[in-house]
Amino acid sequence: MKKYSLYLLAILVGICLILGDMEFGDKHEGFDEMLEAKNLMVKLSKEIYSEKINRAINIDKKLDILESGLIGEEFTGITTTLGDLDSKRISTNPEFAAYFVKKLKNKGLKKDDVVYVNMSSSFPGLNLSLISALDTLNLRGVIINSIGSSMYGANNEEFTFLEMINFLKSKNMIKNSVELYTLGGDADEGLNFDEDVKGHLVERLNEIDIPKLDFKDLNDNIGKRIAYYEKYPNPKYFINIGGNLVSTKLEKYYESLGIPTLTMLNIKQIALANGISNVKNTKQLYEKSQNLIFYFGIIFAFIGYILKIFYKNKKSIRY
């Protein structure tokens, strides 16, 4: 009996593996655009990687194992908080560009629709993936960026995310760009930055044609962000990448107005739920849906069958 149950269990595992590679759903209606956004993200990532090499910025391949150019250092003068390396690695996967297209299409967004975006520099891969999706769908992203980054994000002191964006824009590789920025970090003013690094950074950023948001306190910060966003009325979506008190309050504000929101935190869980992996991506992301009832129905049927035989056999032995 025990041997028989093991055989059935082996069959069950085999079926699970086969089902994992099967397509249950139809292709998503945005399939072509998802691929287009993904391919654009690949180009942007390669361009940043090449530019880092040109600027003699060290790329630690032990950290950036995918050679994306979008993994930063452990600690620098503009590192704000701790960061999870695995989350940063998975966030550089260009499949996230397809993920954003799917999210935007599922909300019914169309050409020229407005999307409010708040992004830190902790996940430069996600930032570029979102911009790739916005550009592919010809959406109007109103983007505010904070410079500081957690560990392994865009925390290189000489090539911040804002400067990456400015570089890509100068090469006409992107249409949507950052329109307003803050320093990020403590009080959103970089109070925990290395003072020498901060001074040099502020001087350099002043030369970029992107304005800095000046504010008195937290409420003024949030109020001025909202005022800037509202220059572009009728938003269809608010998307936040990275998390701090400002982003949380903005998300709650737009939720209260009935505007759909998306916050990109817990990246590993999001990746897992959508079949995004740095080892093997699945077809799940590009489908409308998967017939999970069918999938799990087969699994539980086999489990039930095994248990039925087990208890029946156990009962016969007892008597």
Going residue by residue through the chain (319 aa), what tens digit of pLDDT does each one get?
555 555 655 666 565 555 555 544 688 989 999 999 999 999 999 999 999 999 999 999 999 999 999 999 999 999 999 999 999 999 999 999 999 999 999 999 999 999 999 999 999 999 999 999 999 999 999 999 999 999 999 999 999 999 999 999 999 999 999 999 999 999 999 999 999 999 999 999 999 999 999 999 999 999 999 999 999 999 999 999 997 889 999 999 999 999 999 999 999 999 999 999 887 666 789 887 644 444 555 555 566 666 666 566 655 545 4
**Cβ atoms 128, 44 nearer than 8 A:** yes
pLDDT at 294: 43
DSSP state, residue 189: B
Which stretch of DSSP H or E encloses residue 239? strand 235-241
Which stretch of DSSP H or E encloses residue 235? strand 235-241
**Cβ atoms 137, 32 nearer than 8 A:** no
Residues 6+ apart with CB under 8 A from 68: 45, 48, 49, 92, 125
pTM for the structure as a whole: 0.84
> How remote is the C-alpha of 145 from its chain's centroid?
15
pLDDT at 40: 99
> How remote is the C-alpha of 231 from its chain's centroid?
26
**Cβ atoms 232, 114 nearer than 8 A:** yes
pLDDT at 282: 67
Angle at 314 between CA 308 and CA 319, to 5 degrees: 130
DSSP symbols for 96-155: HHHHHHHHHHHTT--TT-EEEEEE-SS-HHHHHHHHHHHHHTT-EEEEEEE--B-TTSS-
pLDDT at 312: 63
**Cβ atoms 167, 179 nearer than 8 A:** no
pLDDT at 293: 44
User: Which value, to the nearest 10 degrees, does the dihedral of the CA atoms of residues 35, 37, 42, 45 take?
Assistant: -160
**Cβ atoms 240, 250 nearer than 8 A:** yes
Distance, in Å, from the CA atom of 309 to the CA atom of 315, rounded to the nearest integer, reads 10
